[in-house]
Structure 1
Amino acid sequence: MAFEFNGGPPTQYGHTTLVYLIGVISSLLFAITGRLQSVEKEKVKSELAFLKAQINPHFLFNTLNSIYALALKKDDKTPDAVVQLSELMRYIMTNSNDEVIELSKEMNYINNYISLQKTRLGNTVNIIYSVIGHTSGKAITPLILISFIENAFKYGVNPDQTSEIYIKIDIEEEILTLYVSNKKTFSVQSDSGIGLQNTIERLKLVYPNKHALMIEDSAEKYIVNLSIKIR
């Protein structure tokens, strides 16, 4: 028995089969897309957890160094510095794993950190710190700003040279702008830059297309200008 195909319109059976196959393929594609999105979210969470695990000991190590320097000088401000450190660590232990935190709490953390540095450094460094705007009703990812500030104290402080650190935080509606500038003092401190690099990676993961980071690294100055669209 011979069959001839004349290129005519498909039969009702062929049409139904085609619709069924399209439905099956569409369902598979939808399931695969959903699975890929789920895997990507888990990957982002794992990367953030890894980065935070590196950041936290980094802060603790550098802050303990600050208090150690005070203790060596038998400075009367050492007890205050210990209290400030306890507040820093309490914040890290209780809030650093949150996806977002109230901006007021993050700002309080930064204030404590800068106060601790002022206590440690005294009049040896000119620290200019200002905050413009209101934090009410705003939220931000924890520890996303501090590395840029901490970096200025690492590389902008040397008792044998004139040191100046300028920090300005401007909060205007949904945009937070951080400006940090320090004169390079070529301090003998050495660091692998893990904290700063991790923060840059976290910005890419948490604020994709919602931040702008400009870094000016010249022979004499290091300047950071970061803008974030906060929630």
Structure 2
Amino acid sequence: MVNLKNKNVEISLHFLIWLVLFFLPAAFSFGSDADWKDLFRRFWIQLIFLAVVFYANYIYFTKHLFENKKVWFFLVNLLLILSLIFLKNQITDWLEPRRYNPNGRRPPAAVFYFMDTLIYMIPVAFSIAINAGKKIQKAEEMKIEADNIKLQSELQHLKYQLQPHFFFNSLNNIYSLIDFDQEKAKHSIHSLSKLMRHLLYKTDVERISISEEVEFLNKYIELMSLRLTDNTKVYTNFPKTIPDMKIAPLLFISIVENAFKHGISATQHSDIYFKMEIIENEIHFTASNSNFPKTDTDKSGSGIGVENLKKRLTLLYPEKHEFHSHLNNGMYIAEVKLDTK
């Protein structure tokens, strides 16, 4: 449908250009003694043949030039141009025969053929330039399409990588509950089933509403909080009224997972804070937690989720995001800013 529309625009543009070119001689001759026969002989027949040369090259000949048939391209154009010059001279002589002038001197016919050939090379050059521009544009469009396919494949890979990682962390959490609190373990499995339903049906799209993302985060925080002791306090500060905006799914879950992995100690008091602010089109999400770094042998702190987040932000929101993480007074703080425009 788009190609048909572009083709119609192209045809209309060509028609208007040639209409103007044919109209200009009549406009400049207005008020003079020139009649339609003179206009045809002096201007229009030349324009008609120029159009023949242009469209012969634009539609057919130039393709052979791009196929590296340069000799064929040169010879067929030379033959066409010389034939049209000869035909134009015959028509001109038929419309107005030349008067014999015994005292006048006429340049050799080769000079006229040479000058006319130079004129007819102008539409040839135009047709080459236009087709070359189209070829470059098409190559650029194909490159963009290939880049988009690569981008979607990479994003899909990152999403598939994130979901097993999330599921693995959740199962670890439930496993730790089984031995000392079976009721909480059952409740955790039920909560996990709701989260997995969200992963199955809500994340297979490019964008979801912020309210759905916040609901998912709340459910996950609730699930992870079931195994916590009184030593750990979790605080959330999410907007009560959420605007109708859409973002890529599962953008903040990696930061939340990271806070629970590194912010809990079996013997020391710890705090975990989650905060989201929405100001016009900008989302500011912050996770801060007491810092208890994992040891090298603890693979649960491998950092897959955060690296995944960084890659997804770069692909989904180029030049429209910020990600910062730092330590401040024993608290690890991770911040994401998104421009959703």
Cα distance in 2 for partners of 1:136, 1:101 equals 12
Residue 46 of structure 1 deviates from its aligned partner by 0.5
Q: 1:133 to 1:212 in 2, by over 3 A?
A: farther
Which of the residues 38, 50, 60 maps onto 2:157? 50
Q: Report if the CA contact (8 A) 2:203-2:249 is conserved.
A: yes
Q: 2:331: which partner in 1?
A: 221
How many residues end up aligned between the 2 structures?
A: 226
Q: 1:100: which partner in 2?
A: 207
What amino acid maps onto 1:137 in structure 2? D
Matched, 1:201 2:311: yes
Which of the residues 143, 148, 165 maps onto 2:272? 165
What amino acid maps onto 2:312 in structure 1? R
Q: 1:59: which partner in 2?
A: 166
Q: 2:258: which partner in 1?
A: 151
Question: What SS does the aligned partner of 1:69 have?
Answer: helix
Q: TM-score, normalised by structure 1?
A: 0.90
Give the aligned CA root-mean-square deviation in angstroms: 2.1
Q: 1:134 to 1:173 in 2, by over 3 A?
A: farther
Question: What SS does the aligned partner of 1:120 have?
Answer: coil
Q: 1:123: which partner in 2?
A: 230
Q: Relative contact order: is structure 1 or structure 2 higher (C-alpha 8 Å, sep ≥ 6)?
A: 1
Unaligned stretches of 5+ residues in structure 2: 1-109
Q: 1:77 to 1:46 in 2, by over 3 A?
A: same
Cα distance in 1 for partners of 2:252, 2:116 equals 66
State the Cα deviation string for residues 116-169 of structure 1 (Å, max 9, x = none).
Answer: 111111423111111135324111110011101110111111112221111111
Q: Which has the higher strand share?
A: 1
Q: Which has the higher helix share?
A: 2
Q: Report if the CA contact (8 A) 1:158-1:187 is conserved.
A: no
Q: Report if the CA contact (8 A) 2:284-2:337 is conserved.
A: yes
Which of the residues 174, 181, 198 maps onto 1:74? 181
Unaligned stretches of 5+ residues in structure 1: none
Cα distance in 1 for partners of 2:132, 2:169 equals 56
Cα distance in 2 for partners of 1:144, 1:88 equals 15
Cα distance in 1 for partners of 2:241, 2:223 equals 23
What amino acid maps onto 1:158 in structure 2? S
Residue 75 of structure 1 deviates from its aligned partner by 4.0
Question: What SS does the aligned partner of 2:183 have?
Answer: coil
Q: Report if the CA contact (8 A) 2:214-2:238 is conserved.
A: no
Residue 199 of structure 1 deviates from its aligned partner by 0.9
Q: 1:40: which partner in 2?
A: 147
- If you compute each CA radius of gyration, which structure gives the higher value, 1 or 2? 2
Q: TM-score, normalised by structure 2?
A: 0.62
What amino acid maps onto 1:181 in structure 2? S
State the Cα deviation string for residues 46-103 of structure 1 (Å, max 9, x = none).
Answer: 1001111111100000001111111111343222211110111111111222100111
Question: What SS does the aligned partner of 1:11 have?
Answer: helix
